[in-house]
């Protein structure tokens, strides 16, 4: 039987080590892979806006949810998607969440006020919200004009509804009386 020197034994050791590692790498052993989100919250917002503009509301919502972990404004965007798709209950919830997360965001106050205005409900609350949006707006004249427009439309609707209520409290017309039982 042939005796091998220390160099040959070392070579065999490394060959077996290499084969062991190669085989274990190909085995079906579970691996733990930790993935990190490559996008910043701002990039998620931008991607959400791009999806929303294309009418792809599901992917937009997914991006806004990711962004909302760090950016409170994302809640406003989620509310906007729900408003656009007609889900007013969820839109209201998201606008309220946006206000809760950032009490100084005039967009959240304005959009919730606009929702109430378009739904013709909670007009007193809508007026308060729109007024707060106007007061918080200081840096963007275009947005300030939008907030003031929302406030003025709410006041006009309230005045119109007030006139209707006064008319209803007056003498009912003859046609209305015949429907009374």
Model confidence pLDDT, tens digit, residues 151-164: 999 999 988 877 66
DSSP per position, 32-53: -------S-HHHHHHHHHHHHH
Task: Please enumerate in sequence order all residues whose Cβ is within 8 A of that of 116, keeping only pairs 6 or more positions apart, or say none.
Answer: 122, 123, 125, 126, 129, 154
For residue 50, the model assigns a pLDDT of 96
CB atoms within 10 A of CB 150: 23
- What would the pLDDT profile of 99-143 be if each residue is shown by its tens digit? 999 999 999 999 999 999 999 999 999 999 999 999 998 778 888
- What would the pLDDT profile of 2-48 be if each residue is shown by its tens digit? 677 777 777 778 777 776 766 666 655 566 776 777 889 999 999 99
For residue 37, the model assigns a pLDDT of 74
- Spatial contact of 34 and 60, defined as CB atoms under 8 Å apart: no
Residue 160's alpha-carbon distances to 117, 123, 167, in angstroms, are: 13, 12, 11
The domain defined by 39-102 folds into 1.25.40
The residue extents of the domains of the chain are 39-102, 103-168
Residue 164's alpha-carbon distances to 95, 154, 158, in angstroms, are: 30, 15, 10
pLDDT higher than 60, residue 178: no
Indicate the average pLDDT of the chain. 83
């Amino acid at each position: 039987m042939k005796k091998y020197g220390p160099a040959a034994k070392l070579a065999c050791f490394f060959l077996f080590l290499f084969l062991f590692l190669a085989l274990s790498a190909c085995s079906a052993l579970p691996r733990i892979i930790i993935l990190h989100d490559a996008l910043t919250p701002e990039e998620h917002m931008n991607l959400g806006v791009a999806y929303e503009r294309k009418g792809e509301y599901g992917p937009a919502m997914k991006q806004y949810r990711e962004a909302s972990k760090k950016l409170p404004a994302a809640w406003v965007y989620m509310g906007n998607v729900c408003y656009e798709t007609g889900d007013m209950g969820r839109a209201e919830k998201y606008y309220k969440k946006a206000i809760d997360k950032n009490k100084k965001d005039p967009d959240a106050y304005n959009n919730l006020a606009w929702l109430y205005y378009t739904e013709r409900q909670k007009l007193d609350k809508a007026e308060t919200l729109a007024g707060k949006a106007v007061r918080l707006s200081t840096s963007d004249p275009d947005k300030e004009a939008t907030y003031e427009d929302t406030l003025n439309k709410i006041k006009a609707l309230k005045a119109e509804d007030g006139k209707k209520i006064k008319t209803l409290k007056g003498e009912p017309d003859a046609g209305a009386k015949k429907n009374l039982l």
